[in-house]
Amino acid sequence: MDFGATIFFTQQSIGVAELARELESRGYASLYLPEHSHIPASRETPFPGGEPLPEQYRRVFDSLVALSTAAAVTQHLAVGTGISLAMQHHPIEHAKALATLDVISGGRARFGVGYGWNKEEMRDHGVHYASRRAQVREHVLAIHRLWADEVAEFHGEFVDFGPAWQWPKPVQQPRIPTYIGGSPGPKLFAAVGEFADGWMPIGGAGIREALPSLRDAWASAGRAGAPAVIPFGTYPSATKLDYYRELGCSSVVFNLPSADRDAVLATLDQYQTFVG
């Protein structure tokens, strides 16, 4: 079991390059970054974590630009979206950007996908909350076709394009490892079985109870092996990590504060007993 980190990078936080180098030197395997294109000031949708909305949600950097920076200053650190609001991107452009990240990093990209919570943010992108899961599905399936096929096409309700060439292709074939973040449930696990490689339980709670349903969905989709399970945004303890290890989790992603250099490095110092 290896370890990763996730953080909201902003103009007020530790720098991207500095943290990426620090993580690699400390033995971390991955860095995952969240995204919000913007936060509408209307604030119609309550924040799931309880109001007020943390400041970093308004200020968060573009994830793919930041991940490219992290990749450029490291040699082994995997760089992933955690999570990408795929339905808010055009899938043709998103496929090219992610494939480019995989090529320039030498095959270190990861594609974490989620369904989002902010209805008005989605609405500004032309996405209806009720259909967001269906849109994510089509977007990811279309992206996978563009990555794998020399001449790709896709015809769906939300994504429709005829035969097309797109390069670069990801180093990792047939696709960049794709994970779905969110709470356990039949819809999410069916999606993992159909078009992903694993589940990112946010916060890392409820995994043991959910594993049978996840494995059943995986088998029902005709998938071989087992899905990756990556507790995401968790606060580590020895007991918790032993529990994840017992469950067969392949990786654990620790939460870092969106804070200045001193505060983030102090947190890494606290976590180092679990990583080193």
Encode pLDDT of 196-246 as tens digits.
999 999 988 889 999 999 999 999 999 999 999 999 999 999 999 999 999
Residue 146's pLDDT is what?
98
Region 154-177 average pLDDT? 98
* % residues pLDDT > 70 (the chain): 100
Please state, rounded to an integer, the average pLDDT across all residues of the chain. Answer: 97
Residue 276's pLDDT is what?
76
Decide if pLDDT at 31 tops 90.
Answer: yes
Cα(51)–Cα(73) distance, rounded to whole angstroms?
A: 36
Region 159-166 average pLDDT? 98
Residue 204's pLDDT is what?
83
Region 180-187 average pLDDT? 96
Residue type, 134: A
Residue 11, CB-side half-sphere exposure with 13 Å CA sphere: 2
Signed CA dihedral, 61, 65, 68, 69: sign only: negative
Cα(122)–Cα(86) distance, rounded to whole angstroms?
A: 11
Residue 133's pLDDT is what?
98
Residue type, 224: A
Decide if pLDDT at 256 tops 90.
Answer: yes
Residue 239's pLDDT is what?
96
* φ, ψ dihedrals at 112, nearest 5°: -90, 130
CB atoms within 10 A of CB 12: 12
Domain that holds residue 15: 2-275
Structural domain count, the chain: 1
Q: What is the CATH number of the domain that holds 242?
A: 3.20.20.30
Decide if pLDDT at 24 tops 90.
Answer: yes
Largest CA distance in the chain: 52
DSSP the chain: -EEEEE----TTS--HHHHHHHHHHTT--EEEE---S---TT--SPPTT-SSPPTHHHHPPPHHHHHHHHHHT-SS-EEEEEEE-GGGS-HHHHHHHHHHHHHHTTS-EEEEE---S-HHHHHHTT--GGGHHHHHHHHHHHHHHHHH-SSEEEE-SS-EEEEE---PPPSSSS---EEEES---HHHHHHHHHH-SEEE-BTT-SHHHHHHHHHHHHHHTT--S--EE--EEE---HHHHHHHHHHT-SEEEEE--S--HHHHHHHHHHHHHHH-
80 - beta bridge partners? Answer: 32, 110
Tokens of 68: 């490219």
Please enumerate in sequence order all residues whose Cβ is within 8 A of that of 66, keeping only pairs 6 or more positions apart, or say none.
9, 16, 33
Residue 142's pLDDT is what?
98
Residue 187's pLDDT is what?
97
What is the pLDDT confidence band of residue 60, given thresholds at 50, 70 and 90? very high
Residue 205's pLDDT is what?
82
Tokens of 5: 């980190």
For 107-153, what is each residue's pLDDT tens digit?
999 999 999 999 999 999 999 999 999 999 999 999 999 999 999 99
Residue 49's pLDDT is what?
87
Cα(155)–Cα(267) distance, rounded to whole angstroms?
A: 47
Helix 16-25 to helix 63-72 angle, to the nearest 10 degrees?
50
